[in-house]
Amino acid sequence: MVKVLISDKMSPKAAEIFRQRGIEVDELTGMSPEELKACIGNYDGLAIRSSTTATAEIIEAATNLKVIGRAGIGVDNVDIPAATAAGICVMNTPFGNAITTAEHAIAMMFSLSRHIPAADASTQAGKWEKSRFMGVELYGKTLGVIGCGNIGSIVADRAIGLKMKVVAFDPFLSPERAADLGVEKVELDDLFARADYITLHTPITDGTRNLINATNIAKMKDGVRIINCARGGLVVEEDLKAALESGKVAGAAVDVYSVEPAKENVLFSLENVVCTPHLGASTTEAQVNVAIQVAEQMADYLLVGSVTNALNMPSVTAEEAPKLKPYMELAKQLGSFAGQVTESGLKKVHVEYEGQAAGLNIKPLTAIILQGLLGPLMDSVNMVNAPIVAKERGIDVMESISDKADDYQTLIRLTVTTEQRSRDIAGTLYGDKRPRIVSIKGINMEAELGPHMLYVTNRDKPGFIGSLGSLLGEAGVNIATFHLGRHEAQGEAIALIEIDSSLAEDTLEKVRALPHVEQVKPLAF
Ligand SMILES: NC(=O)C1=CN([C@@H]2O[C@H](COP(=O)(O)OP(=O)(O)OC[C@H]3O[C@@H](n4cnc5c(N)ncnc54)[C@H](O)[C@@H]3O)[C@@H](O)[C@H]2O)C=CC1
Ligand SMILES: O=C(O)CCC(=O)C(=O)O
């Protein structure tokens, strides 16, 4: 039975959905990394929020794991290269908590402007300090949004509703999108020079880490206010502290920290700082959204093979999955066939999708061809890591599509170029949706592949079929199907034979010794 571990606090909806889909669930929150490492080998799926860190060490111990689902957006707590190398699909829920997080950023901006947290504490302490908490209006102020994706654009929309002027820096924001949003797209230094408030909404990457540092703070307006509801690592906290103390920065609202959980932090206890404990996504609505989404996505992947919101593999919708299924089988067979007969270094792989196959989502098909192709050459290769493995090995992968498939309604042709030669193999599906190999090295045939196959190339000479049949019969090997093809009479020929059991090495040697035989390969599918 498929088993999933939920290792962070999550809406009960997630476990409910897993169980409804027939998946066994354990909810073990608050585990130490050692405890997680000890049990992760039992699970096919791991559902997390931000408390669990899926390190390379945990992933190495996750010998059965197929998917890590992040109920949220940021995946900086998952070692994606390690997961990819291990063939584990990593998915997130990119929209479920975006509104909630944007609302938190707006709430933080109000809190800063009107000193709400400090005024609340003072008032409840009976101090009535009306003059201490003089605020500033948001109306007419300029908000600088750094990172104008899902959350940043919702923040911009809400800020425009508050009659703020919004300028945005985001290298991937198109002028058309900026115009639609009603924001002015600017360069970063321009944003620093003009913004009264700066709000951060980028992921943490090499390009964004430590973005708010002493040098950049110096470029900002005196009295600027900074809101960070994205990731702690975007800010050099010591530099921000110094700027808050000098008055250069009038206030900061911080939801996320360089180290979490932030039991202590240099920004704590400063008068003009508002802090929350990574609450950006913490609303009932958002948590239900992300829990439902992550459980549905993970269950679909584990049970149906559909892929939604994956960060390290191509998407396959639930509607596409059943349509793709027989093609996946065909693609895997083609890749595996080519992989098993390839004896020298792979250089180039060209996959041509013809006829109906050209209309499909071909990315997962190419990925599974690569899995089949590389599988016989290396361990632990699957659809997730095969494209990366191919790239790392310098294998040039090309795809092409064509509406026409000559004699077939649908066809996939795989051409593999090695250091020594090019070889192609093509297959189709008929009405029964069972994969058929229809051509090998340009030689037409029609073969279904079984678990044990024998691939023989030979010169087309009289008596060959009889002597091969007798030899196999004498060895007690039953022939299930026998397919033949040749270029021309007496020319190069291929025999593809399905046998009921694998061949012993000495029988193989005898087949190789038959007259006119050029190559003999036992193949397993
Ligand atoms: N506090 C919290 O609880 C939450 C925090 N987050 C954080 O918010 C971040 C943003 O989330 P979304 O808006 O959904 O992501 P998104 O991917 O939709 O948007 C991020 C934007 O940042 C832009 N970007 C990338 N590099 C940049 C750079 N160097 N400078 C400027 N812009 C850059 C991208 O082009 C993209 O438009 C997440 O990565 C996550 O870390 C998300 C949800 C909750
Ligand atoms: O799950 C949470 O509370 C944090 C959400 C978050 O940071 C994210 O979705 O990136």
pLDDT in tens, 66-115: 999 999 999 999 999 999 989 999 999 999 999 999 999 999 999 999 99
Q: In whole angstroms, give the CA distance from residue 413 to residue 437.
A: 10
Expressed in angstroms and rounded, the spacing between residue 201 Cα and the centre of ligand 1 is: 4
Q: Is the CB of 150 under 6 A from ligand 1?
A: yes
**pLDDT for the residue 402:** 94
Average pLDDT of the chain to the nearest whole number? 94
Q: Please name the residue that has the structure tokens 């049949």.
A: 469
439 contacts: CB under 8 Å, gap ≥ 6: 413, 424, 425, 426, 445
Q: In whole angstroms, give the CA distance from residue 328 to residue 334.
A: 10
Ligand 1 mutation pick, 73, 92, 153, 229, max ligand atoms within 8 A of CB: 73
Q: Residue with the nearest Cα to atom 17 of ligand 1?
A: 149
Expressed in angstroms and rounded, the spacing between residue 231 Cα and the centre of ligand 1 is: 9
505 is catalytic: no
pLDDT in tens, 208-236: 999 999 999 999 999 999 999 999 999 99
- DSSP class of 290: H
Q: How many degrees, rounded to 5, is the angle at CA 512 between CA 507 and CA 516?
A: 140
For 176-191, what is the mean pLDDT? 96
Residue type, 481: T
Kindly give the number of the ligand 1 atom that is closest to the alpha carbon of 153.
13
- DSSP class of 283: S
Q: What does pTM read for this prediction?
A: 0.82
For 439-446, what is the mean pLDDT? 92
Question: Is 80 exceeded by the pLDDT of residue 378?
Answer: no
If DSSP codes are grouped into helix, strand and coil, which group holds residue 85? helix
Kindly give the number of the ligand 1 atom that is closest to the alpha carbon of 151.
13
27 is catalytic: no
The CATH T-level fold of domain 98-275 is Rossmann fold (3.40.50)
The CATH T-level fold of domain 450-525 is Alpha-Beta Plaits (3.30.70)
- Indicate which ligand has the atom closest to the C-alpha of 9: 2
Output the CATH code of domain 314-437: 3.30.1330.90
**pLDDT for the residue 337:** 95
Expressed in angstroms and rounded, the spacing between residue 198 Cα and the centre of ligand 1 is: 14
pLDDT in tens, 222-275: 999 999 999 999 999 999 999 999 999 999 999 999 999 999 999 999 999 999
Question: Is 90 exceeded by the pLDDT of residue 42?
Answer: yes
**pLDDT for the residue 401:** 96
Q: Residue with the nearest Cα to atom 3 of ligand 2?
A: 281
**pLDDT for the residue 317:** 86
47 contacts: CB under 8 Å, gap ≥ 6: 4, 5, 6, 7, 8, 10, 14, 68, 69, 71, 294, 295, 298
260 is catalytic: yes
Residue among 274, 240, 233 nearest 118 (CA): 274
Q: Is the CB of 155 under 6 A from ligand 1?
A: no
pLDDT in tens, 123-152: 999 999 999 999 999 999 999 999 999 999
Question: Is 90 exceeded by the pLDDT of residue 420?
Answer: no
pLDDT in tens, 484-494: 888 877 788 99
Q: Is the CB of 286 under 6 A from ligand 1?
A: no
Residue type, 46: L
Which member of 278, 413, 436, 452 is catalytic? 278
For 441-464, what is the mean pLDDT? 90
Measuring CA to CA, how many Å separate 141 from each of 106, 117, 484? 14, 22, 79
Question: Is 70 exceeded by the pLDDT of residue 405?
Answer: no
22 contacts: CB under 8 Å, gap ≥ 6: 1, 2, 303
The ipTM assigned to this model is: 0.99
Which member of 16, 27, 260, 448 is catalytic? 260
For residue 12, the surrounding DSSP H or E stretch is: helix 12-20
Ligand 2 mutation pick, 97, 202, 287, 311, max ligand atoms within 8 A of CB: 97
Question: Is 80 exceeded by the pLDDT of residue 299?
Answer: yes
Can you say whether the dihedral through the CA atoms of 110, 114, 118, 119 is positive or negative? negative
Can you say whether the dihedral through the CA atoms of 504, 506, 509, 513 is positive or negative? negative
Question: Is 90 exceeded by the pLDDT of residue 14?
Answer: yes
* 224 touches 200 (CB < 8 A): no
Ligand 1 mutation pick, 155, 185, 202, max ligand atoms within 8 A of CB: 202
Q: What are the residue boundaries of the structural domains of the chain, listed by start?
A: 3-95+285-304, 98-275, 314-437, 450-525
Which member of 231, 413, 436, 452 is catalytic? 231
Ligand 1 mutation pick, 99, 151, 192, max ligand atoms within 8 A of CB: 151
* Fold: same for 3-95+285-304 and 314-437: no
For 16-40, what is the mean pLDDT? 97
What percent of the chain clears pLDDT 70, i.e. is strictly above it?
100
State yes or no: cis peptide before 261, omega within 30 of 0. Answer: yes
Measuring CA to CA, how many Å separate 347 from each of 177, 363, 384? 41, 20, 20
**pLDDT for the residue 97:** 96
Q: Indicate the class that CATH gives domain 3-95+285-304.
A: alpha beta
Q: Is the CB of 73 under 6 A from ligand 1?
A: yes
Q: Is the CB of 255 under 6 A from ligand 1?
A: yes
Kindly give the number of the ligand 1 atom that is closest to the alpha carbon of 203.
39
